């Protein structure tokens, strides 16, 4: 803090410095939330989202439950479209934990279906 003569100037400078780092961190974390599932398992995909959501809350930029669920659903591949439709068409809101549990069960069903189809050919 060379060249600053008062504690007010020093605190103002520190606030500007750390606020810009925080904004950059928030932007990076929000970008990570937009990463699709791709080849990751559902559990790893959900853990990655949870890490970013927790980190956003820690830096003072929490997201709502509805947004958290929307992020989860938006990153899912096409084979989960029926699941997404059933979750989004429900009149009562789901919790994040309910969506995660249902999604893990859906992944298991899809894997079982794919394995059964592989056996037929």
Question: What domain count does the chain have?
Answer: 1
What tens digit of pLDDT does each residue of 58-97 get?
888 999 999 999 999 999 999 999 999 999 999 899 999 9
Instruction: Kindly tell me the burial class for residue 29, based on how many C-beta atoms sit within 10 Å of its own C-beta (0-12, 13-18, 19 or more).
Output: buried
* 56 inside domain: yes
Q: State the pTM of this model.
A: 0.77
The answer to whether the beta carbons of residues 115 and 76 sit under 8 Å apart is: no
- Dist. CA 38–CA 79, nearest whole Å: 12
**Confidence class of residue 23 from pLDDT cuts 50, 70 and 90?**
confident
Which range marks the domain in which residue 45 is found? 7-120
Tell the residue number behind the tokens 């439950």, with chain if given: 65
* 31 inside domain: yes
What tens digit of pLDDT does each residue of 29-53 get?
999 898 899 889 999 999 999 999 9
């Amino acid at each position: 803090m060379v060249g600053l003569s008062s504690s007010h100037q020093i605190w103002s400078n520190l606030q500007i410095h750390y606020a810009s780092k925080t904004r950059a961190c928030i932007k990076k974390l929000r970008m990570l939330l937009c990463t699709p599932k791709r080849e990751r398992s559902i559990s790893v995909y959900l853990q990655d989202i949870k890490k970013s959501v927790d980190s956003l809350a820690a830096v003072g930029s929490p997201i709502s439950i509805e947004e958290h669920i929307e992020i989860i659903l938006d990153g899912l591949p096409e084979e989960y479209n029926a699941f997404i439709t059933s979750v989004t068409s429900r009149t009562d809101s789901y919790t994040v934990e309910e969506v995660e549990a249902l999604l893990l069960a859906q992944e298991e069903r899809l894997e079982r279906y794919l394995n059964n189809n592989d056996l037929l050919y």
